[in-house]
Amino acid sequence: MNPPGAETPSVGQATGHTGPLRAMHWATVALLLATYPAAWAIANATTSAEAAWLTMLHRSLGLAILALTMVRLTWRRRSSVPPLPADLPAVQRLAARGSVVAFYALLMLQPLLGLTASLLHGDRITVFGGVVIPLVLPVDRPYARLVFQVHGGVALLLLALIGLHVAAALYHHFVRRDEVLSTMLPAVRRLSSPDKPGLTEVPR
C-alpha cells in the first residue's frame, strides 16, 4: 500500500532508452538503408562520373556510421540501459548480449575494411562531397582485392544480423508481448500486465 499522498505508479508506463540513444539507433538505421543501395548501385552505374559519385556517397555514409557508432557506444556506456524481462530464458539473454556486441563490432569494422581496401588499392578517396583522405597505406592491389572480399562478406553478415535483430524485436513485441521493442520507440508504454514478472538489468 502506498503512503498517504504518494503517487501510485502507473502500470502502463515503461522506461525506455534515453532520447539520444533512441535518436542514434534510428539514425543508424537510416544510414544503413542508404548505404546498402548505394553500394549495390555502383556496379550498375551508366557513367564513370555516376560511379564515382555513388562511391563517394557510399564511403561517406560508411564513415558516418563509424563515427555515429563510436559516439553511440560511448554514450551507452555512460547511460542507463532498459532491463530485459526477468523471465527471459538464459539462452535468449545470452543471444541478446551477443547480438549487441556483434552489432557494435561489425558497424565499426565494416567501414574500416572498406577504407583500408580503398587505400591499399591506391584510390583517390573523396568523402562528404570534397574531403580528400590522404593515402596513408602503401599500394598493394592483390591485398586490396582480398580486403574487398572480406568487406563484401562482412556486409552480408551484417545484413543477416540485421534480419535476426528485426525478427527478435517482432518476436518480443507480438509473441512475448513484453517491452523490449517499446523501449526503443519514442512513446514507451508497458505491454505486460501487473502480474507479469519484473525486469532485470540488461548486460552492457
pLDDT at residue 187 in the model? 58
pLDDT at 51 exceeding the cut of 60: yes
C-alpha cell of residue 61: 555514409
Radius of gyration of the chain (CA): 21
- Digit-coded pLDDT (tens) for 94-105: 999 999 999 999
Please give the angle made by the CA atoms of 118, 121 and 126, to the nearest 5 degrees: 40
- Measured CA to CA, the distance from residue 101 to residue 204 in angstroms comes to 9
Assess whether pLDDT exceeds 90 at residue 182: no
The answer to whether 23 and 39 have CB atoms below 8 angstroms apart is no
Instruction: Determine the pLDDT at residue 203.
Output: 39
Q: Could you tell me the pLDDT band of residue 168, with boundaries at 50, 70 and 90?
A: very high
Which residues does residue 126 pair with via DSSP β-bridges, in sequence order?
Answer: 132
Angle of CA points 72, 74, 75, to nearest 5°: 65
Q: Is 197 exposed, middle or buried (0-12, 13-18, 19+ CB in 10 A)?
A: exposed
Q: What is the pLDDT of residue 128?
A: 96
Question: Which residue from 171, 28, 23 is spatially nearest to 106, judged by alpha carbons?
Answer: 28
Cell triple for 152: 563484401
User: What average pLDDT score do residues 123-142 get?
Assistant: 95
Count the alpha carbons within 13 Å of 66 in the hemisphere toward its beta carbon.
14
Instruction: Note the pLDDT of residue 15.
Output: 62
Confidence of residue 107 (pLDDT cuts 50, 70, 90): very high
Can you tell me the distance from the alpha carbon of 198 to that of 86, in angstroms, rounded to the nearest whole number? 6
Q: Which residue has the higher pLDDT, 192 or 166?
A: 166
| Residue 1: per-residue pLDDT | 41
For residue range 54-93, what is the model confidence (pLDDT) as tens digits? 999 999 999 999 999 999 999 988 887 888 888 999 999 9
Residue 185 is predicted with a pLDDT of 85
